[in-house]
Structure formats: structure tokens, C-alpha cells
Structure 1
Amino acid sequence: MISAGDFRKGVTFQWDGDVYQIIDFQHVKPGKGAAFVRTKIRSVLSGGSKEVTFNPTERFEKAEIITKEMQYLYSDGELYYFMDLGTYEQLPLDVEAVEEAIKWIRENDIATIRLYQGKAFEVLPPNFVELEVTESEPGIKGDTSSGATKPATVETGVTLNVPLFVNVGDKIKIDTRTGEYLSRV
């Protein structure tokens, strides 16, 4: 059992005949009246999200989530295929399950898949990835004031800001949680 006062991002619980994952939460203690927890939750089974307010003492059954490391194989345009490295079974996933993670994953990369009762509901990329820069404007000499950046596109198609010294063909390290450049590799 988990109480609403213990809610954190990513926590999954059973409520109202469905399984929900906390997307965002805020513990509110108004000057008058009782404290409450304002949450944004997403249904693991249907994918729909909504905002709900809970009393911090409300208790819920914790949902059992299985986490697996799987290899991303390919996309056929509609589905994204992942392979379980232990059993070699392929798992096709739709865009809703992979939309946040796929921009950081290349073919043959390893990703973490979260499943509830055999149904995948979330794909998590590694926290840090190394990707090659495919497009970038050259840095202009003399334009090196502190912290100057320029947009660059990496091999997965994501555009992010990088320092002026990064060029096409460089491999860069990126934090996938924030989408920020960390260093050249």
C-alpha cells in the first residue's frame, strides 16, 4: 500500500479499477484547511491522462511493474520493434509508448521497457547517450563570448544547443533526462 503523501514522479498505483503512473505532483499546504496532493496521472492501460487531487492520507494498492532491458531493432513506420535479449522474443510497440525515448535511441541500442501484466507502457532511454552530430553551422571566429551556443542536429534527428566548437562528425554526450549537451567524446 502507498499513501498519496508518498507520491513521487514515476510511482504506479491502482485506483478506480485502473493503473496510473504519476507524471507530476505537488504537495499543497494551504494557510487554512487541510493539506492535499495535486497530481497529474496517466493511465497505464489506456494512455489517457488527467489531473486529480488526493487527500495525503488516502491509501492505494501499489501496482507491480516489470522492468526489462531490451534492444531496439527497427521501425516499420507504425510500430517500433524491441527484442528481449534473454528469450529473443520481439515486442512491437506503438508511438505512444516510445514517443519520448525514441529520439535518443538508435537501432541496436538498449532501452528499458516498463510492463504491467505483459503490456508495455513506457520506454526509457539510457540516462546518457553518445550521438554523432550530422548538421551544424560552423562557429564564427570571434563569437566566443561566455557560454555561446549554436543549434546542432544529431543522428537520431533531435536538435539541441551545443558549444560553438562542436562540428559535424563529432560525437557528443547528451543527458536524455534534460536533453542537454554534456561533452564531446
Structure 2
Amino acid sequence: MLEYSEITPGRYIEYEGEPYEVLSYHVFRKQQRKPVNATKLKHLITGSVKEVSFHQSEKVNEAEVLTREIKYLYNNKGEWWFSEVGDPSKRFKLTEEAVGTGGKFLKQNSVVEIKMWGEKMVGLKLPIKNTLSAPKKARSAELRRLHAEERGKEKLPRGSTSEVFLTDSDC
């Protein structure tokens, strides 16, 4: 059980039977009244944020949110397949809704962290850095476009060029 003053950012609490992450808090007093802890809580399952005030007499349970590392294998037909880092034979799948929009930035065999609340997955943490590359056709088309346009030069009729200076207000 957490006292009202122990509800600080980065902690996971159970409020109304659901898991929340504390985003911010502010303990204040109004005139001669008892202190109040005004917090912003993020629901771990839905992602919604709400403001809740905890009074001095209130206590909340700390949510047991565990993190573990898993390895992304591949995705097929809306199913994202992962395995445990040390044992690739223990595979499991997650739905596209569980992975979220960040799934399109995953590379095969990259290690990610998941947050578990009980037996339910409540979050997927992507790597901070990831090196992605474009297909060869897209890269060569971009290079051809860059070489065709010489920076700062405007092509005029009959093959002549002229220096052009643009400012931010011209664009």
C-alpha cells in the first residue's frame, strides 16, 4: 500500500482495479486544509490520461508491472511473432493492436521490452535507436534527383544556369 505522498512519477499503481503509470504529481495545501496530491495517471491498457487527486487519508495498491526482454522474429497477416531471448523455441504471437504503430519500425531479431501486468501484456518498449534503410530503387531515384538539381542553381532555357538565393519567406 502506498501513502498519498508516495505516489510519484514512474510508479505503477492500481486505481479502480486497473493499472496506471504516474506521469506527474503535485502536493499542495489550500489555506488551512489538509494536503492533497494532484496526479496525472496514464492507463497502461488504453493509454488514456486522467487527473486524480489523492487526499491524505487515501492509500492505493502498487501495481506489479514486470518488464522482460523478448526478440522480434517476423510478422504475417496481422500476427507479430516473438520469442524469448535465450530460448528461440518458446515462441508466441501478439496481435497488431497489442504491438501498436511502433511495430512497423521493428527489425527482425531486434530485442524489445514488454511490460506485463499479471498475465496481460500492457506495453511494448521499442529500442531507442534503430537503423532502417530504404529499398534500392528508392535510394537510386533519390540520388538521381539530387544530382539533377544542383543546389542553388536554376536551369534556364537553352542550357544556361543562374544563381538563385531563396529566403524562408520566399518558400
Residues 140-159 of structure 1: pairs in structure 2 closer than 5 A: 141-142=151-152
Residues of 2 paired with 1:19 and 1:128: CA distance? 28
Residues of 1 paired with 2:64 and 2:82: CA distance? 21
Q: Secondary structure at the match of 1:107?
A: coil
- Aligned positions, number: 141
Equivalent residue, structure 1, for 2:86? 86
Q: Compare CA radii of gyration and give the structure with the larger one.
A: 2
Post-superposition offset of 1:90: 1.7
Residues of 1 paired with 2:25 and 2:134: CA distance? 38
Equivalent residue, structure 2, for 1:41? 42
Distance 1:30 1:126, change over 3 A: same
Cα contact 1:80–1:94 (8 A) shared by 2 = yes
Equivalent residue, structure 1, for 2:64? 64
Q: What's the CA shift string for 1:26-85, capped at 9, x where partnerless?
A: 5375876754424142144xx363513122644322112221111111122322111112
Amino acid at match of 1:52: E
Distance 1:140 1:60, change over 3 A: farther
Amino acid at match of 1:73: L
The answer for unaligned runs of 5 or more in structure 2 is 154-167
Residues of 2 paired with 1:118 and 1:140: CA distance? 58
Q: State the percentage of identical aligned residues.
A: 20
Equivalent residue, structure 1, for 2:96? 95
Instruction: Compute the TM-score of the two structures, normalised by the length of structure 2.
Output: 0.63
The answer for unaligned runs of 5 or more in structure 1 is 149-185
Cα contact 2:85–2:111 (8 A) shared by 1 = no
Distance 1:100 1:38, change over 3 A: farther
Residues of 2 paired with 1:55 and 1:140: CA distance? 62
Post-superposition offset of 1:118: 2.4
Amino acid at match of 2:52: T
Q: Secondary structure at the match of 2:132?
A: strand
